[in-house]
Structure 1
């Protein structure tokens, strides 16, 4: 007897990206504007210590903080971790150390990169200084990285990560020409996704123009896409059930902004994304609605899938021409 071949393990590279735009209060604005001018500002807390980067409210008392002081561009490494394989968009393209640096005059440590030739060249207590970026715009990347101080500057033994420092600081009013009032903070996660047993079966069925869910053995609800376990009862689901292919629009939204990540999809705005309850399913999935003007999409609209070229998954859903579903038939799936 020949042993059965193990099932194919599916993998796909995925990217989750969201550029977050935020406005700045007076303390954060002064800090980032200061970096643009090669000045590092901290804020004095109620116990007299200096926080760098600064915050606007005291973490111990929650009182508002406004007293800005200038600290030195030199400091001491309190701890580190070697990064031998830098990823795209990290501070340096060659191997470097992530370090917490307690700048002279600060009571807290700042996380950044240290340009060092190797892990043996990094140690707790070593003295470092800021290497400023050639072009500065008012962001944390205005600090290109840290670099070791002169070889003859001794290490600082037993440096604490936090606490008051005796080093003198200089008061600063935080006033700069053309202050930075907002930033865009890009957040991006690149990873390889491998679906489990339930979703592998679901994706395999889609390639055959079928939609398969799984039924909970306790509450008997059918979930599409299947999760491998019932989200209500918490028990494993193994009973596969074919649903659809037709379904009902339960809720929807009209998209009026062409996001950067959809540029390669050639979608003209406005377009509609909807929650669709496939016939026989107890959980609505989401899909794009096509074949109808965006302003004629409605709750209760009956739709069917239109498959992509190659037929691996539905490209969008279009109206079937059937009468709209009665509200009572899908109200529990909103």
Structure 2
């Protein structure tokens, strides 16, 4: 899963990021005289807004560090490196960044380092590619005639590796065959879809699987009107909780083939499956739900499943 995290940086951090774009580093002075790098927007002592920008050096001293023997994708370096807290000359608080030390025995508390800049700074902390050993600073850039930095866009991504439990495995294998399986603790237990390992109300393990139809009732829903990066469907569209017939808990899916403002609580819907050759181990084997044309369900039939 990935998306672009976008935020406005405000007047103080804007000066910090604008300086980075010019290959310079600045901090902010607090009420007690300390210079904070990166700048703190509010004074940690008085909680007042801080405004006094102070230039600091791009050279500093390692305060503490830890070794990263196997870099991860997206980290500053793709070879072993150190994460270090670095107190820049002229600053009173340390900055966290990567240090390209080559080997772990080449860095220690007290090691002098300097910022190594990327070739084309854009106004982000990543304009400092990493810190290198030695205290000879690289040349600062010339002041830019570009507008000050006001927005920051940070690509964010997460990869999840999930080990399926026994009930989940049964559920997913059934989906691969076009079947919807719920689970319960026995004939008197509530039927959960997707299955859970235990009934939350009793703590008893779910042991009985029940095949459910691919029809159900919309209990609650949301109309998504706002576009965002990576969106697969053009707004407006509807994400709804669908209570499958026979189930005791609804699950979230898309409802389409109807105008978004026509979707309603109690509406009867049916699954639209993808072509068989596209089925895998996932609920996305169902492309979406669409109205069946049946009369809406009475509220009393689903009011306990909202």
Instruction: State the TM-score, normalizing by the size of structure 1.
Output: 0.78
1:13-52 correspondence runs (5 A): 16-52=1-37
Query: How far off is 1:127 after superposition?
Result: 0.3
Counterpart of 2:264 (choices 286, 298, 308) is 298
Instruction: Indicate the larger mover: 235-244 or 108-117.
Output: 235-244
How far the C-alpha of 1:78 sits from its partner, in A, is 1.5
Summarize the alignment of residues 47-196 of structure 1 with structure 2, pairs less than 5 Å apart. Answer: 47-149=32-134, 178-196=147-165
Measured after TM superposition, the shift of residue 28 of structure 1 is 0.9
Instruction: Go from structure 1 to structure 2 and tell me whether the alpha carbon gap of 1:270 and 1:102 turns closer, same or farther (over 3 Å shift).
Output: same
**Cα deviations across residues 99-147 of structure 1 (Å, max 9, x unaligned)?**
2111112221111111222222222210000112211111101111100
CA distance in 2, matches of 1:177, 1:206: 54
Q: Which among 200, 217, 239 is matched to residue 169 of structure 2?
A: 200
Match in the other structure for 1:275: 241
Q: Distance in 2 between matches of 1:61 and 1:83?
A: 37
SS in 1 for 2:20: helix
For residue 8 of structure 1, what is the aligned residue in structure 2?
Answer: none
TM-score, with normalisation over the residues of structure 2?
A: 0.85
Separation in structure 1 between the aligned mates of residue 272 and residue 146 of structure 2, nearest angstrom:
57
Equivalent position of 1:168 in the other structure: none
Q: Please report how far the alpha carbon of residue 290 of structure 1 lies from its aligned counterpart in structure 2 after TM superposition.
A: 3.3
Alignment RMSD: 2.6
